[in-house]
Amino acid sequence: MNPLAAVGRTFLAFLSSTGRMALFAGLGIFHCIAPPWYTRLVLRQILDIGYFSLPVVGLTAVFTGMVLALQSYTGFSRFEAEGAIASIVVLSVTRELGPVLAGLMVAGRVGAAIAAEIGTMRVTEQIDALTTLSTNPFKYLVAPRLIAATVTLPILVLVADIIGVMGGYVVSIHKLGFNPTSYLANTFDILEVMDVVSGLVKAAVFGFLIALMGCYHGYHSKRGAQGVGQATTYAVVSGSILILTFNYIVTEMFFSR
């Protein structure tokens, strides 16, 4: 077997699936913009994606903030730079850790659920049934999830930011003995609007990508339980990889000089 041919085939398959995903995304965006909209379905998805993800995102954020404060202290105390801990916590959480960790947690919870639900609908012919009932599956299944995830993730990340910073505050005050007033003053002095905005933009992009991967892999799920299981795995893995990739791209857009 020619190894170059194998590399070429893999590369062509990658290009082909990237093209299919791009077309799927384009069609999804078109149906998000063009009426009619299924408001009831969007609201239900906002509840599923946003409200029910709050506990897992909140827990992730609080422990991340707490660990960040502890680790920064152990490192920075060697250089007598403990005063920078508040800045480290708030900037890390709002710019990076809040959106990325919330995105990864939601990709695991919501991306998998979307892929499993749509995949099951595919293998049980419910998607074909939608078409025969004069309902466009893209408009009914894909668009509400894309809209809901894109709108909801920034709100989730905003909550995660607040909880994460509070986690760092609690550890800094109660365990490390910082002065609460000066800790909060340091936090708000260093924080700029752009730090929060960049995190929220990232969150919106991540939300869109998570829903897109869930819908895409579910929609193209192969027959049987194994097909749906595979779609779920692909949704989480590709969603997570895209989150990390686009995290760099958006960071580059906001903070490169």
Partner 1 sequence: MSTGTPKIHVRGLKKSFGNKVVLDGIDFDVAAGESLVIIGGSGSGKSVTIKCILGLIQPDAGTIEIDGTNAAGLSGRERDTLMSKFGMLFQGGALFDSMTVWENVAFRLIQERSHSRRQAREAAIETLGMVGLGGDVADLLPSEVSGGMMKRVALARAIAARPEIIFFDEPTTGLDPITADVINDLIVSVREKLGLTTVSITHDMASVRKIADRVAMIHHGQFIWTGSVDAIDNSGSDYVDQFIHGRAEGPIQMDIRKP
133 lies in the site for partner 1, by CB under 8 A: yes
Radius of gyration of the chain (CA): 21
Chain residues 42-101 in contact with partner 1, contact rule CB under 8 A? none
Gap between the Cα atoms of 160 and 152, Å rounded: 12
Please identify which residue in 18, 131, 182, 233 interacts with partner 1, judged by CB under 8 A. Answer: 131
134 lies in the site for partner 1, by CB under 8 A: yes
DSSP 1-45: --HHHHHHHHHHHHHHHHHHHHHHHHHHHHHHHSSP--HHHHHHH
125 lies in the site for partner 1, by CB under 8 A: yes
| Residues 61, 161 contacting (CB under 8 angstroms) | yes
126 lies in the site for partner 1, by CB under 8 A: yes
Q: Which residues of 42-71 are buried (b: 16+ CB within 10 A; e: fewer)?
A: beebbebbbeebeebbbebbbebbbebbbe
CB of 126 or CB of 251, closer to partner 1: 126
- Minimum CB distance to partner 1, residue 233 (Å): 22
251 lies in the site for partner 1, by CB under 8 A: no
Encoding tokens for residue 128? Answer: 């074909």
Please identify which residue in 124, 179, 233, 245 interacts with partner 1, judged by CB under 8 A. Answer: 124
Stretch that binds partner 1, among 24-32, 132-140, 224-232, 247-255 (CB under 8 A): 132-140
Please identify which residue in 1, 4, 5, 132 interacts with partner 1, judged by CB under 8 A. Answer: 132
Residues of this chain that interact with partner 1 (CB under 8 A) are 121, 124-126, 128-129, 131-135, 140
